[in-house]
Structure 1
Amino acid sequence: MSRTVTLVLVDAAGRPLGALPPYDVPEPWWQQVGAIVDEAHRRYGVEVAVLRLLTADRPEPPGGHLTYLAEATAPPALPLAPVSVDLTPHPLRAPWAEPGGPAGSLAWATAELDRLGRTVIAVAQHRTWNLSAIWRLDGDRGSAWLKQVPSFFRHEAAVLRWLTTAAPDTTPTLLAADDTGRILLDHIPGEDRYAADEAERAAVAAEHHAVQLRAAGDTAELVAAGVPDLRGPALARWIRDRLAPHDAAVAADLLAGLDDRLDQVRDCGLPDTLVHGDLHPGNVRGDGTRRVVIDWGDAFVGHPAFDILRLTETLDPGVAARLLDAWSARWRADVPGSDPERAVKLLGPVAHLRMAAVYAMFLAGIEPSEHAYHVLDVPACLERAAAAA
């Protein structure tokens, strides 16, 4: 599957220039823009930074015909097609999705690397959407990654600072961060481990257990640093508040009994700790020597079972059962008298309910033109929550 893209170009001041002819790119996922930038240069000699999605011809990713807004560094030599596009400002628009936004963030990252004695030689845009903008900066002392996130993910820098001290071998090296959601990370060799097999997932779970055991004693510090506090009753309130604008009737019984269910989870005796929030193999990166967990924007302080449930949710039941048994054995050994098996069983439906609330949070925090990234995820997660309950 591929994408057909149309780029509507503006200059650095935001003045519309016109549209490039449509062209195909091999990456089907809407937020991946590296090939879009490369093909614009190869086909038309235009240097661009993709700003944001404007329209899509299908209700959700991947694939299809997409129209993006892009900033051209110079007026292109070829004639552009006239196009009518709404460039009205929106209060929820990400700063990197505005003309001048990418240049400003790259200037910050370049200055931070210069302060560290690292000269930037080349930059490449990799991703842009409502949840992040990601650029690679290559230099004389290796590569670094600029990541910029919205306000609801800005605690990622606080998590990385804690990990740097408490579990430095498990996390990307944080080079710099500011209060606008920009973080600068050192390059991690290897690849994202989407294809991780059972043995590798088991290793990830065991390594993550050590991090969570360490974090259980630092929950107050993490909350004080800005990490969301979703312990017990706070989780129930948070879920209900975010799902209030949505039709959650399919999971009405689960929502009604949520407080009682979470009380039962508390009685299972496991400690609250740092939760990654989206611990699937794609958020693990490794090269066979070192393995780290990336993308901590979904992190919160809460129950550790949410991460093992995410790590096992797409697996064959037999494989998932083995990983869950090993997870439970570790917690029983470290917290004598606890009942991790019962906690997992009780939280299985809640994990899907929490994900529905996460997607609802995204929708509430992004402009309408980008709702297609997430709008169908809320009802899908609610259906899974109801089925699991």
Structure 2
Amino acid sequence: MRRLIVVSAVGALALAGCGGTSDEPAAGGEKGGPITVAANDTACEIARGSADAGTSVFNVTNKGQKVTEFYVYAPGDRVMGEVENIAPGLSRELHVELPAGSYETACKPGMIGKGIRAAFTVSGSSAPLTDDAALAAATDSYARYVKSQTDALQTKTEEFVTAVKAGDVDKARALFPVARTYWERIEPVAEIFGDLDPRIDGREEVTEEGMKFGGFHRIEKDLWAAKPDISSDGPIADQLLTDVKEIVTKAQAEKLSPLQLANGAKGLLDEVASGKITGEEDRYSHTDLWDFNANVEGSKAAIAALRPVLEERDAALVKTLDTEFTNVDTALAKHRAGDGWKLHNQLTQADLKELSDAINALAEPISKVAAVVSKK
């Protein structure tokens, strides 16, 4: 879930100046090579502002003091590619397939706000990665997974909304983590479509952007209040269902690039690291482990779709991924409770460290998948 914050008019002008690009080649920005991005807490320096159509590689280094993110946006803030959770002093690569057109790049210090943006232009033409039959089959396979999950998301959200509007607190509480399971499995796809993600899944911080706090987490807050009261949440629930139906329609129509599968598999682990391990995501209900498990399952599904390609191109990487997914499952299984999971506030610091270490160990090999997919 992407968080948002206001940038003042004066600050926005200053940040826009810091985010300027140049079409002149710079170190690490040679035409056709990786494009370096030097990010800090107030600037986002892109080595060049243009590229040829096809796969672009951005090498993002965080030189600031805050954790940052890097995005490539198409018009309408449609997310073409992103890397999250880039800690100070670390570098991450983003492989993204871009046809000819006008885009924006954005660094997000603190992982909040609209970001420090700059124009980015792609020209020429290139055969899509899906011209490879195996990669086309991978995207078709994953599209079937997205359809199954979004169909279930709509069904379970309808049940959740019905319970909220009926004032049935116990039933709504039981359905809250179940409905969100389907959302969390396909969240990288849902995040493509501009403000729909924060409308559905925005935490309370979205009010800092001037957005209305609604969706799942607004109802969650009322459900788990000291004295639960959802008597006025009917309109919020109706809007949630309307937004979910829109996501379902758009997600099922979306033609994904194989690199979006690879980046999404890593992005789901970033979601775990930045929100679920910390307990920040479901701060009122403490049902974060439902989301944690769903994120991991969604990551597995993307890798499963790509598996035939990965086995052919890097069998050793597949073996490592299998091992690390198993290790995550083993660590998480310790916290089963009936058909669900323990609450986040029932976990010890040792429990959280074990889970975090397992996710980090998996994230490292998954970060290599995009480079393997983009090989020709």
Q: Normalised by the size of structure 1, how large is the TM-score?
A: 0.27
Determine which structure has the larger helix proportion and give its number: 2
Quick check: which has more Rg, 1 or 2? Answer: 1
Determine which structure has the larger strand proportion and give its number: 1
Q: Normalised by the size of structure 2, how large is the TM-score?
A: 0.28
